[in-house]
Structure 1
Amino acid sequence: MRRTSRLIPFSFVILLLGLLLLILQVPSTFGHTLGSSCQTPEKSEGRCVHFSSCRLVLRHYAMYKEHMPPVIMRFLQRARCKPKNEGYHLCCELKDVIPANANSKLK
């Protein structure tokens, strides 16, 4: 049986690095702990999670790949909920939070 490798596509890595660089440049109000409640830029109830645990980010990547529209990039920047030295966490709407046990499928 042939075994296939599950490598992350290079363009996805580049997109995430670009997103991270943009997020680093935006000052924001922090103070949430991982998994704490927060309010999304659209004023919805959310959870402060690592960006890779938010379906919204994955949907936008699937749709736009490395050509993410500036309006979406700005939205993601406004969704920051932790300081940059604690990783890249976004306030993700509750319906879009990927459970921790499902994360292993993304790696």
Structure 2
Amino acid sequence: MGWMTRLLGGSGRSDAQVEAQLVSAVRALPGVTDSDLVLRTDASGGGSLRGHVAVTGPAAFEQALAAVGRVLGRDGGRIAVYAVGRLPDGSVVAPTDVGFRSRPSGAELHERYR
């Protein structure tokens, strides 16, 4: 049983399942053209979601953050999100551009977008 399963109160999801759900939820969004998100966990119960999401605009990146929040839920407080959006012109959209601190937690995302 992975730490994410324990964190989510025995939800039955392994760490690999959570990562697959995160990637699937983000890639299914309109305005998202690609992503390379990776969920890393450690023995202490913490973790991080890192990577880039290729988006058509800042609104699509915000929708991707919302999808991450829905998948992680309010119990994702021990997950730091280091993801950024990459626009077609190569510029970057950061969580701070949509009103978050630079590394929001999964719980912060969930609270805003639930």
TM-score interval, normalised by the smaller of the two chains: under 0.3
Which structure shows the higher helix fraction?
Answer: 1
Higher relative contact order (CA 8 A, sep 6+): 1
Q: TM-score normalized by structure 2?
A: 0.25
Which structure shows the higher strand fraction?
Answer: 2
Q: TM-score normalized by structure 1?
A: 0.26
